[in-house]
């Protein structure tokens, strides 16, 4: 089987918002699709280990913020590379957000917001496919939605192992390389020469999170 055939599938970039009791939380996914048009149903693919999955299971609700090409990397770094289990992702002023129908939505140059109520969840080995009825939807800008391809090719972003479309990094160079243990970003050259306050350009983790390849 040619696995690379699957890499030709197209995706977008989305922030999922939900609640942990009264605390807003959520994560990044690239897997949101519209299933039906009349009284619309959408589906997301959510890793069983994501804390967002636990919270959606408890509340039965989530929001989708459709990210645009102008959405800053901070949103993806904060929501996509740390866990709501031990981080207050919506705390502080790292990115703009608000509540819509009681659920957190990202305002940082997003294209649209959707809120949805879970209908059913289908279990796969690593992920649940969550089908949900759209409750409300609002266009927030006319910016271009960020595609997964744009995230990889223009922003040079990575996806962690919990993303269903994760690909292990290929060997890209004969130079010395260091890999960020959080997001997989590959630094080429001698990382020890960087200053002590160097952080990963993708997930903002410190130098100590890098391992020599």
Buried b (16+ CB within 10 A) or exposed e, 21-44: eeebbbbbbbbbeeeeeeeebbbb
Closest CA to 164 of 133, 120, 118, 128: 128
Examine residue 201 and tell whether it contacts ligand FMN (CB under 6 A). Answer: no
In 3D, which of 172, 140, 141, 144 has the Cα closest to residue 156?
172
Of all residues in this chain, which one has the CB nearest to ligand FMN in the complex?
80
Distances (CA, A) of 26 to 45, 121, 178: 13, 17, 29
The smaller minimum CB distance to ligand FMN, of residues 152 and 207, is found at: 152
Closest CA to 163 of 177, 174, 148, 178: 148
Nearest-angstrom CA–CA distance, 183 and 210: 10
Beta strands in 124-167 (DSSP E): 127-139
Among the candidate windows 49-57, 93-101, 138-146, 170-178, which touches ligand FMN by CB under 6 A? Answer: 49-57
Least distance (Å) from ligand FMN to the CB of residue 80?
Answer: 3
Least distance (Å) between residue 55 CB and ligand FMN: 8
Binding mask 94-133 for ligand FMN (x = CB under 6 A): ---------------------------------x------
CB of 89 within 8 A of CB of 20? Answer: no
Tell me the closest approach of the beta carbon of residue 78 to ligand FMN, in angstroms. Answer: 9
Judged by CB under 6 A, the chain residues 72 through 91 that form the site for ligand FMN are 76, 80-85
Going residue by residue from 130 to 149, which x/- string records binding to ligand FMN, judged by CB under 6 A? Answer: --------------------
- Segment near ligand FMN (CB under 6 A), from 42-50, 58-66, 101-109, 173-181? 42-50
Give contact residues for ligand FMN (rule: CB under 6 A). Answer: 25, 27-31, 45-47, 50-52, 76, 80-85, 127, 151, 157, 159-160, 162-164
């Amino acid at each position: 089987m040619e696995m690379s055939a699957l890499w030709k599938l197209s995706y977008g970039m989305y922030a999922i918002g939900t609640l942990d009791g009264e605390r807003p939380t959520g994560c990044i996914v690239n897997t949101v699709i519209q299933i039906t048009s009349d009284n619309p149903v959408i589906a997301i693919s959510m890793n069983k280990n994501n804390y967002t999955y636990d919270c959606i299971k408890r509340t039965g609700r989530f929001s989708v913020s459709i990210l645009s090409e102008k959405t800053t990397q901070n949103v993806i770094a904060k929501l996509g590379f740390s866990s709501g289990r031990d981080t207050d992702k919506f705390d502080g002023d790292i990115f703009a957000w608000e509540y819509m129908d009681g659920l957190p939505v990202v305002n940082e140059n997003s294209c649209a917001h959707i809120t949805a109520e879970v209908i059913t969840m289908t279990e796969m080995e690593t992920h649940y496919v969550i089908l949900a009825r759209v409750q409300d939807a609002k266009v927030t800008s006319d910016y271009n939605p960020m595609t997964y391809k744009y995230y990889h090719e223009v922003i040079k972003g990575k996806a962690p192992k919990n993303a269903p479309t994760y690909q292990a990094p290929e060997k890209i160079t004969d130079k010395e390389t260091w890999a960020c243990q959080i997001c997989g970003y590959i630094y080429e050259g001698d990382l020890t020469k960087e200053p002590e306050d160097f952080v990963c350009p993708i997930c903002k983790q410190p130098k100590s999170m890098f391992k020599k390849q």
